[in-house]
Each structure stands twice: as C-alpha cells, then as structure tokens.
Amino acid sequence: MILKYIGRSFKRGCVQLVRRPMYFLLIVIMPILCCWFLMDLVKGGSVQRVPVGIVDLDNSSLSRQVSLTLNGLQQVNIRHRYANFAEARDAVQRGEVLGFFLIPEDVEEHALGGRQPVVSYYVNYAYYAPASMQYKGFKTMSLLANGAIVQTALRTVGLPNEAIASSLQPYQTHVHALNNPFTNYNFYLNSTFVPCFFSLFILLVTAFSLGLELKSGLSRQWLKTAGDSMFLALVGKLVPQTVLFTAVGWFIQWIMYRCYDFPLNCNPWNMLSAMFLLVVANQSFAVLMYCFVPNFRYGTMLCTLLGMVSFSFSGFSLPQESMYSWVTALGFVMPIKYYFLIMVDQALNGIDLYYSRFYYAALIGFTILPMLLSWHLKKECLNPVYVP
Amino acid sequence: MTEKVKHSRLFLWFIQVLRVCGRELLLVFRDEGVVIFFLLLNAVYPVLYSIIYNPEVVRDEKVVVVDDNRTQLSRDLIRRMDATQEVAIVGYAANMQEAQEAMHLKECYGILHVPRDFGQSIGRGQQAHVSLYCDMSVMMRYKAMFTALTSVTQAMGNEQLAYKVEPVVGMGGSIIESRQVAVGNPAMGIASAVLLFILPLVLQQSMILGIAMLHGGSIERRRRNGGRDPMAIEAGPAATIIGKMMCHQIVYVLPVIYVLYYVPLMFGFPQYGDFFQVICLAVPFIIAVSLMGQTLQAFVNERESVFLLFVFSSVVFVFLTGASWPRYLMSRLWRVVGDCVPGVWMSNGFVRMQADSALLSQVSHEYWMLWLQVPVFFILAYLVERFVNRRRYRSWIAASEDNPRILTRIDLAKNGVG
C-alpha cells in the first residue's frame, strides 16, 4: 500500500519536473553556468599589475631608480606619470589609476643628508582587493629604496656584505599560507561562493515548487496522491529534484577539484557526501520555512532573503569572529555554513573527520527538523489560500 | 486650449502615456508583493548588508604562540604582536603539535613559531627567522595576521638597524620615511568598500523584480480572462513602455534618496560626493533599469517565477561591478557583459563620486554610457512589447475564442494534472 503511494507521488513529482522547462533551467543549466562564470571570472588567481601612477617631483637619479624598480614589481603597473599631485588625484577620481606613488622634491638630497624625507603612497581603498596589492607593492618599494641607500652608506664604511644584509633586515618572516601557498583567490572565493550560489538555487527551486501546489489549489490532490501523508507527499515531490541537484552538485565538485585543482586534502567521499547532505539540508530548510509560513509569497521571500544574505553572514569574506555576535549566530541557521566549515576542515586543511563531526550532524539535523513541523504545512495544504 | 491641439496625435498619445502611468501606479500600490519589492526591499536589504559588514576590519584575530626561544627578545616580539589591532595572542603552546590541535579545534586561526635560535641570531648579528602559519579559509584573517607580523618585525628591525648603523654612518634606521594615505575609504574597511557597490545594485534588482512581478500578474489575469487583461490600458507599445517607465520613476524617488543618501549616512560610509550630482547620475540609471526590466519581463510567465529567474542574477551583477575582483582583470567577455548592465556603470560612478569625491564631469564616461543604455533598452523593450508580448496575447485571444478553457488547462497540465 505504502509503496503504491510512494510510487504515485514520485510519478507526480517527476511529471511536474519535466513539464516545466524552467526547472531544468534552474536545476541544471543555471548552477553550472554560474559556477563557470565565477571560475572563469577569477581564473587569474591573484590580483596583479594594479594600474597606478607616479608623481616624481624630484627627478633625481634616485627617484628614477625608484620608478623603474616600482614598475618591475609584480603587484603594480605604472600606467601614467603625472606632473603634480592635482593631476594624479584627478586621475584617481576619473578611475584611470587606482593609486599613486608620490616622490617629493629633493628626496635624494635630503636622504643623503640624513634629513629623513617622506615619500607617500596614495591607495584607493574604495577598490578593496587591488588596494591590498598596491599597499604590498608600494611598501616593498619604499623598503627597497631605504635599503639601497643604507647599503651604499654601509659599504662605504667597509662593512662586509653579510653583515649588511642582516643589518638591513634583521628579522626575516616566513608566512605560511596553509594549503593555499600562492594565496590563490580562485581557490578561496569559489570553494565557498559556488556552493553558496548552488544552495541559493536549491532553496529557490524547492520553495517555488512547494508554493505552486498551494497557489494552484492542487495541494489537496497532492496529499491524496500520497495517501494523506505529508511526509510521503514531500518525498515524492522532492526526491526527483534531490537526484538532479546532487548530480549537478557532484559535477560542480568535479569541476572544482579536478579541472581547476582546488585543494582536496581529504578522502573525496567526505566532500561528495557533504554535497549530498547540503542538497537535502537546503531542501529541508525550504520546507521548514514553509512550515513556519505556509504562504507562497512569504515562504519564497523568506528563502530568497536568507539565501541571498547567507553569502554575507556565513563568514566567507568578513570572518565570523569579527562580526556582531548575533550576526554570527544567524549564520549558523543556514546549511551552507556547515558545508563551509566541512570544506575548510576536510578539503582545505585535510584534518581528521572527527573534528567535523558536528557539522555533518547539523546537516543531517536540518533534514529531520521539518518532519516535526510538517503538520502545520499539512493543515495549510488541506485548505490552501493563495494571496497574490 | 485650441481644438487643433486637443486632437493632435501627439497630444492624444501623451494622454495615453499618462493614463498608462496612472494605471501602473494603481497596480503597484494595490499589489502587496510589488510594494514589498519596490519599497520594503530597498528599506531593509541595504541596512541588513551594512550591519553584517559594519565591523569593517578584522580585530584581534586569535593566534597561538610556540616560543622555543624564551628570551627577552622573543617575549618582546610576542607582546608587540598582541598589541596590534589585528592580532590577539590567545595562548602559548608547548610545541607545534599542541598548537595544531588548537587550530583544529578552532581555538585559534594562526600559529606564531619563534625558533630556538631567534634571540641568539640577533645577538650574533645574523638574521633571525620567525614563522607564521595561517588558516586560509578566509582571506581577511590571513591578511590581518600577515600585516600585523610584517609591521611588528619591521618596527623591531628598524630599531635594530638604528642601533647598529647610527654609530657607524650617523643616520637613523629609516633613511626615507614612507607613509600610506588611504584615499576613498580611510577606515580601510570592507563595508565602506563593498557596500557602495551594492547599494545601486539593490535599487536595480528590486526594480527589475517588481516590474517582472507586475508583468507576471498581468499575464495571469490574461490567462484567466481569455487573453485579455481587464486592468490594462489600451495604448501603443511605445506609450505603454514610456508610461510604465514614468511610473517607476515616480515610485523610485524616495528609495533612491534613501538608499544612496541615508543608508551611507547611517553607517558612516564615505560620502564625499555632491549629492545633487549623484542624483544626476541616478536619473539615467533609473530610466535604463526600468527599460531593462521591461525587456527582461518577457521571460516571466507567472508572478512567482521572478524569484527563480532574477534573484540569483544579483550575485552575478555584484561580481560584474568589480566589487570583489577588479574589472580590469576580467576577460573581455565578462567586461562586455558587465557593460550591458546599468548597475555596473552606476556602481562604479557612484563609488568614485562618494569615495573619491569625483565630480559628475569626472565620471562622465559612466554618465554617458548610462544615457546610451536608455535608447538601447528602449528599443529592446519596444521589440519585446510589440513582437513577443502582444503577439502572444493575440494568439491567446484567438485560441480561447475556439476553446475558452484552454489557457487554464495548460496551466493545470504544468502542475502535473492530466
């Protein structure tokens, strides 16, 4: 008997899926396209050759040396030379360059005279990622300029080269970017943003397909097909989507870890299972929202709002410990947060599965939660009201 | 008014435009869903995003120390690291294994390792080494720890240099002082940088969603009424488009002022531009977005499919503006795609005006590109209205004259019945 109901509601779910081309578009085409978009956009890996300007008011051999060296750095690219500060500022405002290096008058003379001249670099922090790179480049440059003068001075008094090196830079720092040694922006950005994007699609599609039942007034028939069991009705409706979404999710993971060589330092099954759990957890999350607000408009809006904001409050860009604590707490409401933590532990850092046990458990928990509240959705399904 | 003027075609056309505009206003305010998009979304979203990013910078990132040296110098280094804004030393670990365990348990996100010969190397006049291991899950953490260590070791290095060099050559440690001036975003925070890009996009997306939902509502009415929309005003395609566009302009006066002026004011984001000039930039933007929305509405078949079709595009547009990955590094394809979106021009113009206090004349390229989009999107919207929408309505009317229930039956079939 129960098998008959499962079969019937499953068939209904499949028919609905096939009859609207939009589902295919939103489940298969768009997630893959968006994945490709993000991957292709930042395929360069790191921000380099930031367009900058230089204002050389000194025009000495030293200042020329500085601008030559500056252009040789990987981080910046001198696009223009400006005659004065006002011109350079105008260029920044016009967006021609994102910052400039200012060498004031008589730098060489003051430097050799020991009167500590000041060079300044103006960095446009309105463009965040290039600004950090410029800072790195300009900072290196000013250190090099400093070093060159000190080196000359020390050599003239007869210090050996070795002693000069240790005097110029007494402390050498080794910064180890664990498991992403080249600080590849693609690895960082897309191992989080692509799954987050994907879960937005899952939320939207699930919310939409549930809402349609209420809108069309067919929800009673939907329940009847499943023998008046809300659980079976949901399973029949959502499992065909789960299958498609999981397949697409795994395909996206294959692109990330095999085509683009994202760090994968764990057993691949850990990530594959996490992706499956992410799909189911997001579907359940959308169902849960409908259990709270069984209304097409508000249910979908809630999913949309949370899905969109989860890009921010899950702590991909501003880390969670820097946010307001209630925002951090809000982040733990969404399944993607747990996937992110699993990804960091497993794929990126490759630590023992033991440390991620709670995150997997949380994803499973999301799946169980709507079962406890589905009576509310069932009540609404028996008396559907559509508010346009 | 003379009879001649009253009956001139232009005058009648203009009356039609006004009637379309009036009807559209009525439809907007009668439809709760559209009001939510046009007004509530603009009121809530920018504030929500701003609150999330409002802490701006990373402070006191947790770092554990493995100090194998235990000298006065190593303690000095650690004390200075702890004193930086970016890093907080949360504890000492006996060895690297212990520190790693702390990292795995998320008790810290970085490990500072001071090797055994750290103090001795300095004493011998050799280079001393210090290692920092960073968790790379979030770039801003890495950046914070990296900056802190660099600035601390540089300051200590300069002191060393001064101490050693001064007696020899009679000059201080730093021959040339260098100074960073953060323009545009003096807080150097992420909120001030990213939010200015996002704000115009919120306006764009909310408007497109609302327009598409209005159109979806109209389509649904047509489906119920045999291909005719009882709420629509009979007018030519151009009059319909312009009338609707006027309505959107009127509705968006308040959201534009609120989102572009009051939200940055509330959160203290850079606001160096002249607001009147910002509004001048926003005028072609809002017109272009309205026309773009009326072009894209062709994809909508029912009210709620707007969620599926347009919501995710917001993320794509945010990336196209260059808020995260700079535009000059994008491939030609994505730059061209970005060029087609009014929000991309508006965001970049808005950022330069508000952050870098650029004048309208200095963002003239963006300004004229927005004006260029107006006729382009008008032509597209006209083609859509005339050759997609109206053709479809005519075929529906013809079909339902043969069989009055055909349109509802198609709808049912899509929901899995029959």
Give the span between the Cα atoms of B376 and A14, in whole angstroms: 41
Q: Examine residue B41 and state whether it is found in any structural domain, yes or no.
A: yes
Q: Examine residue B346 and state whether it is found in any structural domain, yes or no.
A: yes
Q: What is the pLDDT of residue B265?
A: 95
**Do B337 and B376 have their domain in common?**
yes
Between chain A and chain B, the number of residue pairs with CB atoms below 8 A apart is 351
A202 backbone dihedrals φ, ψ, rounded to 5°: -60, -45
Q: What is the pLDDT of residue B24?
A: 95
Region B224-241 average pLDDT: 90
**Do B47 and B67 have their domain in common?**
no
Q: Examine residue B147 and state whether it is found in any structural domain, yes or no.
A: yes
Q: Chain A contact for B352, CB < 8 A?
A: yes
Q: Count of CB atoms within 10 A of residue B123's CB?
A: 12
Give the span between the Cα atoms of A307 and A153, in whole angstroms: 61
Give the span between the Cα atoms of A16 and B253, in whole angstroms: 42
Q: What is the pLDDT of residue B169?
A: 62
Q: What is the pLDDT of residue A109?
A: 85
pLDDT, tens digit (0-9, with 9 covering 90-100), for A251-286: 999 999 999 999 999 999 999 999 999 999 999 999
* Subunit contact B315:A34, Cβ cutoff 8 A: yes
pLDDT, tens digit (0-9, with 9 covering 90-100), for B23-47: 999 999 999 999 999 999 999 999 9
Under the banding of pLDDT at 50, 70 and 90, the label for residue B416 is: low
Q: How far is B188 from chain A (nearest CA, A)?
A: 6
**Do B365 and B398 have their domain in common?**
yes
Q: Please, are residues A179 and A345 in contact by the beta-carbon 8 Å criterion?
A: no
**Which residues of chain A have a CB within 8 Å of the CB of B183?**
92, 99, 122-126
ipTM value: 0.93
Q: Chain A contact for B313, CB < 8 A?
A: no
Q: What is the pLDDT of residue B173?
A: 54
Provide the CB-side half-sphere exposure for A12 (13 A, CA).
28
**Do B130 and B202 have their domain in common?**
no
Under the banding of pLDDT at 50, 70 and 90, the label for residue B376 is: very high
**Do B127 and B212 have their domain in common?**
no
Q: Select the residue of A117, A154, A170 nearest B128 (Cβ to Cβ).
A: A170
**Do B235 and B260 have their domain in common?**
yes
Q: Please, are residues A61 and A108 in contact by the beta-carbon 8 Å criterion?
A: yes
For chain A, the first-to-last Cα distance in angstroms comes to 38
Interface test with B, best of A103, A128, A162, A205 (most B CBs within 10 A): A128
* Subunit contact B149:A121, Cβ cutoff 8 A: no
Q: Examine residue B278 and state whether it is found in any structural domain, yes or no.
A: yes
Q: Encode burial over B33-69: b for 16+ CB neighbours within 10 A, e otherwise.
A: bbebbbbebbbebbbebbbbbbbbbbebbbbbbbbeb
Q: What is the pLDDT of residue A45?
A: 83
Give the span between the Cα atoms of A358 and A191, in whole angstroms: 20
Contact residues for A51 (Cβ-Cβ < 8 A; gap 6+) = A76, A77, A79, A96, A97, A98, B328
Smallest CA-to-CA distance from B125 within A160, A304, A63, A12 is with A160
Q: Select the residue of B125, B170, B217 nearest A114 (Cβ to Cβ).
A: B170
CA distances to A94, A337, B21 from A334, rounded to whole Å, are: 41, 6, 41
B91 is written with which tokens?
A: 């504890």
Give the span between the Cα atoms of A328 and A337, in whole angstroms: 10
In sequence order, the β-bridge partners of residue A101 are: A54, A121
CA distances to A206, A351, A378, B333 from A210, rounded to whole Å, are: 6, 39, 12, 37
Give the span between the Cα atoms of A222 and A10, in whole angstroms: 11
B143 is written with which tokens?
A: 């950046």
Final residue in a domain of this structure, among B169, B197, B214: B169
Residue-range definition of the domain harbouring residue B40: 3-53+187-414
* Subunit contact B132:A174, Cβ cutoff 8 A: yes
Q: What is the pLDDT of residue A365?
A: 96
Q: Examine residue B175 and state whether it is found in any structural domain, yes or no.
A: no
Report the interhelical angle of B342-356 vs A85-94 (nearest 10°): 150
**Do B48 and B65 have their domain in common?**
no
pLDDT in tens, chain A (388 residues): 788 999 999 999 999 899 888 899 999 999 999 999 999 999 888 888 999 999 999 988 888 888 888 888 888 999 999 999 999 999 999 999 999 999 999 888 888 777 888 899 999 999 988 998 899 889 888 888 877 777 777 788 787 877 777 777 889 999 999 999 988 999 999 999 999 999 999 999 999 999 988 888 888 889 998 888 999 999 999 999 999 999 999 999 999 999 999 999 999 999 999 999 999 999 999 999 999 988 888 899 999 999 999 999 898 999 999 999 999 999 999 999 999 999 999 999 999 999 999 999 999 999 999 988 888 889 888 888 777 6
Smallest CA-to-CA distance from B213 within B80, B295, B303 is with B303
Region B281-299 average pLDDT: 96
For each of the domains in chain A, give its residue range(s) and CATH number, in order of start. 2-43+182-382 (no CATH), 50-168 (3.40.1710.10)
Domain at B162, CATH number: 3.40.1710.10
**Do B155 and B199 have their domain in common?**
no
Smallest CA-to-CA distance from B137 within A177, A119, A359 is with A177
B396 is written with which tokens?
A: 């529906």
Q: Chain B contact for A165, CB < 8 A?
A: yes
pLDDT, tens digit (0-9, with 9 covering 90-100), for A70-119: 888 888 999 999 999 999 999 999 999 999 999 999 888 888 777 888 89
B82 is written with which tokens?
A: 């702890």
Q: How far is A367 from chain B (nearest CA, A)?
A: 23
| Whole-prediction pTM | 0.94
Under the banding of pLDDT at 50, 70 and 90, the label for residue B225 is: confident
DSSP B336-388: HHHHT-HHHHHHHHHHHHHHH---GGGGHHHHHHHHHHHHHHHHHHHHIIIII
Q: What is the pLDDT of residue B89?
A: 97
**Do B369 and B261 have their domain in common?**
yes
pLDDT, tens digit (0-9, with 9 covering 90-100), for B155-174: 898 888 777 777 766 665 56
Report the interhelical angle of A335-342 vs A268-292 (nearest 10°): 170
Q: What is the pLDDT of residue B158?
A: 83
Q: Chain A contact for B132, CB < 8 A?
A: yes
| Strand pairing category for B61-67 and B87-92 | parallel
Q: Examine residue B177 and state whether it is found in any structural domain, yes or no.
A: no
* Subunit contact A153:B171, Cβ cutoff 8 A: yes
Give the span between the Cα atoms of A385 and B3, in whole angstroms: 53
Q: What is the pLDDT of residue B351?
A: 95
* Subunit contact B128:A351, Cβ cutoff 8 A: no
Give the span between the Cα atoms of B124 and B77, in whole angstroms: 18
**Do B242 and B123 have their domain in common?**
no
Whether pLDDT at B309 is above 60: yes
Q: Examine residue B182 and state whether it is found in any structural domain, yes or no.
A: no
How many structural domains compose chain B?
A: 2
Indicate the residue type of A65. Q
List all residues of chain A from 309 to 328 with a beta carbon under 8 Å from chain B.
309, 311-313, 315-319, 321-324, 327
Q: Is A103 helix (H, G, I), strand (E, B) or coil?
A: strand
Final residue in a domain of this structure, among B136, B169, B202: B169
**Do B203 and B139 have their domain in common?**
no
Query: In whole angstroms, what separates CA B291 from the centre of its chain?
Result: 20
Q: What is the pLDDT of residue B68?
A: 96
pLDDT, tens digit (0-9, with 9 covering 90-100), for B91-118: 999 999 999 999 999 999 999 999 999 9
**Do B120 and B228 have their domain in common?**
no
Q: What is the pLDDT of residue B110?
A: 96
| Strand pairing category for B177-183 and A118-124 | parallel
Q: Examine residue B174 and state whether it is found in any structural domain, yes or no.
A: no
Indicate the residue type of B406. I
Q: Please, are residues A210 and A286 in contact by the beta-carbon 8 Å criterion?
A: yes
Q: What is the pLDDT of residue A111?
A: 80
DSSP B134-153: E--SSHHHHHHHHHHHHHHH
In sequence order, the β-bridge partners of residue B224 are: none
Report the interhelical angle of A296-313 vs B41-53 (nearest 10°): 30
Indicate the residue type of B213. M
Q: Chain B contact for A154, CB < 8 A?
A: yes
